[in-house]
Amino acid sequence: MLKYLSADYLFPVNSAPIKNGIIVLSNNNAIVDILSEWDTVPKGINIERYEGIIVPGFINCHCHLELSHLRGKIPKKTGLINFLKAVARGPKYSSDLIADEIIKADQAMYEAGIVAVADVANTIHSRERKLESKIYYHTFSEIFGFEPEIAKEAFIRGVELCEAFAPLSSSVTPHAPYSVSKELFRFIRMREDKSKQLISIHNQETEEENKFFRYKTGNFLDFYAFLNKNIDFFKAQARNSLRSVLPLLPQLQRILLVHNTYTSFKDINFVERYKKDVTWCLCPNANLYIEDRLPKIDLFIRSRLPIVLGTDSLASNDKLCILSEIKTLLAHFPQLSLEKSIEWATLNGARYLGIDATYGSLEIGKKPGLNLLTKTDGLNLTEESTLVKLS
Ligand SMILES: [Zn+2]
């Protein structure tokens, strides 16, 4: 039994918006056909007609599901270093509570029209839910370790966690420039194979990271003192964090640079020239939560490299909702179109994750999930726009 759905506009994403388009779904929600208003529809067919814009299911490219129990626990706008200290200082939570909050967050993402998530893990807590979830997950087993002497041990732990997520899709990944030693980057590079495993690294989330790398000054010195870590081995690099670590990242793997809040025009040029397979991930609401500042979106719009969106975790966001991220971007950057931001939220993320045969665009044969954006105005959102999950 085929289902016919129509709205004021369809955003296929891989092609221009279709006014009054009709989308034909099979009973397992695969797209069988996409029709324009002039195409003939067989007589007697019931078309479900909606006001608004139909877009593909959203891809959330940065999340930490296992931190969902920290919702509302960390003060806002205190800067990354204070955020990290607050997380480190926090009380121990029971596994049952952590598991319950993971289930709620997964369900909330599903209802918010998210169909796939790139999720960072330091523990096995999220595996059980991910196995049952209606959402597709790729898990990054995140590796920390700034002291060179613990590199091997940290790497082995990361590989073990990565393998423990089987049969789910997973790969090992470095946490951030300031928390991974050159030795540990070397281990991660050695693991590189032809399978195009994914890498995701937090990048320039605070200006302190750049200061730390350029001059070995700033609040990261206090942070390592707070952690009782001796970082005498680390020398100022005379270049910022991104320029220091990009050469250390694997050559063949797809690399996601997450946050980029303090990434400059010169940095973007540097990355474009470097000939690595890099995607930029923006998490605007988390940036406002932690640093009260947004990346220079206008520079990224002009970048040759693809852009995707992420929510980060409930430790630094009030909700895991890609539509909210889009609304924040559109409110701050009027030159950004809804159409472009939907491409970031769908097809670009599906391509990064390597799941674009199924997800990311309205194309015949795909099963991308359908979201209806309501209370739209032509090709734009309004403040009242919400999301209804259609499939
Ligand atoms: Zn993160």
**DSSP assignment of 323-380:** HHHHHHHHHH-TTS-HHHHHHHHTHHHHHHHT-TTTSSS--TT----EEEEPS-BTTB
Alpha carbon of 176 to ligand 1 centroid (Å): 9
Instruction: Please give the Cα distance from 329 to 61 (Å, whole number).
Output: 16
Q: Is 32 exposed, middle or buried (0-12, 13-18, 19+ CB in 10 A)?
A: middle
Name residue 101's amino acid: E
| Cis amide prior to 56 (ω within 30 degrees) | no
Q: Tell me the C-alpha distance between 359 and 371, whole Å.
A: 13
Residue carrying the six token digits 């593909």: 56
CA of 168 to the centre of ligand 1 (A): 20
d(C-alpha 148, C-alpha 179), whole Å: 11
Residue 193 confidence (pLDDT): 64
State whether 33 and 77 are in the same domain.
no
Residue 310 lies inside a defined structural domain of this protein: yes
Distances (CA, A) of 149 to 93, 122, 224, 233, 377: 30, 20, 16, 11, 58
Residue 136 has what pLDDT?
Answer: 98
Among 2, 6, 4, which Cα is nearest to 37's? 6
Q: Are strands 3-10 and 22-25 parallel, antiparallel or unpaired?
A: antiparallel
Q: How far is the CA of 272 from the centre of ligand 1 (A)?
A: 23
Judge if 51 and 113 occupy the same domain: no
Residues 63 and 45 in one domain: no
Residues 48 and 62 in one domain: no
In this prediction, residue 196 carries a pLDDT of 64
292-324 pLDDT per residue, tens? 999 999 999 999 999 999 999 999 999 999 999
**Ligand 1 centroid to 107 CA: how many Å?**
20
φ, ψ of residue 12 in degrees (nearest 5): -65, -25
Q: How far is the CA of 201 from the centre of ligand 1 (A)?
A: 8
β pairing state of 169-174 and 136-143: parallel
Range of the domain at 23: 3-55+376-389
Distance (angstroms) between ligand 1 centre and the Cα of 238 equals 26
Residue 127 to residue 130: CA distance in whole angstroms: 5
What is the CA(150)–ligand 1 centre distance, in A? 22
For residue 362, being part of any structural domain is answered with no
- Is residue 22 domain-shared with residue 86, that is, in the same domain? no
Q: Find the CATH number of the domain harbouring 70.
A: 3.20.20.140
Measured in Å, residue 34 CA sits from the centre of ligand 1 at 37
Residue 131 Cα to ligand 1 midpoint, Å, equals 22
CA distance 63 to 66: 9
Residue 318 DSSP SS3: coil
Q: Calculate how far, in angstroms, residue 214's C-alpha sits from the geometric centre of ligand 1.
A: 23
Residues within 5 A (CB) of ion ligand 1: 312
DSSP state of 172: E
Q: Phi first, then psi: what are they for 47, rounded to 5°? A: -100, 125
**Residues 48 and 79 reside in one and the same domain:** no
Same domain (yes/no): 22, 94: no
Tell me, in angstroms, the distance from the centre of ligand 1 to residue 283's CA: 9
Task: State whether 35 and 125 are in the same domain.
Answer: no
Measuring CA to CA, which residue among 179, 202, 208, 210 is closest to residue 291?
208
CA of 105 to the centre of ligand 1 (A): 16
Distance of alpha carbon 281 from alpha carbon 284, whole angstroms? 10
Co-location of 67 and 21 in the same domain: no
- Here the tokens at position 60 are 């959330």
Ligand 1 centroid vs 88 CA: distance in angstroms?
14
Quote the number of domains for the chain: 2
Alpha-carbon span 81 to 291, nearest angstrom: 10
Residues in the chain: 391
CA 361/CA 340 separation, integer angstroms:
13
Interatomic CA distance for residues 351 and 340, integer angstroms: 15
Residues 21 and 167 in one domain: no
**d(Cα 221, Cα 213) in Å, to the nearest integer?**
11
Beta-ladder partners of 120? 140
Query: Is 333 part of a structural domain of the chain?
Result: yes
CATH number at residue 49: 2.30.40.10
CA-wise closest residue to 373 among 335, 345, 351, 350: 345
Question: How many Å apart are CA 94 and CA 98, to the nearest integer?
Answer: 6
Give residue for tokens 């050695």. 190
Q: How far is the CA of 92 from the centre of ligand 1 (A)?
A: 20
Q: Is residue 268 domain-shared with residue 289, that is, in the same domain?
A: yes
Which residue's entry shows tokens 């799941």?
Answer: 355
Taking the centre of ligand 1 as the mean of its atom positions, its distance from the CA of residue 22, in whole angstroms, is 38
In tens digits, the chain (391 residues) has pLDDT values of 899 999 999 999 999 999 999 999 999 999 999 999 888 888 889 999 999 999 999 999 999 999 999 999 999 999 999 999 999 999 999 999 999 999 999 999 999 999 999 999 999 999 999 999 999 999 999 999 999 999 999 999 999 999 999 999 999 999 999 999 999 999 999 887 655 689 999 999 999 999 999 999 999 999 999 999 999 999 999 999 999 999 999 988 999 999 999 999 999 999 999 889 999 999 999 999 999 999 999 999 999 999 999 999 999 999 999 999 999 999 999 999 999 999 999 999 999 999 999 999 999 999 999 999 999 999 999 999 999 999 9
- 288, part of any domain: yes
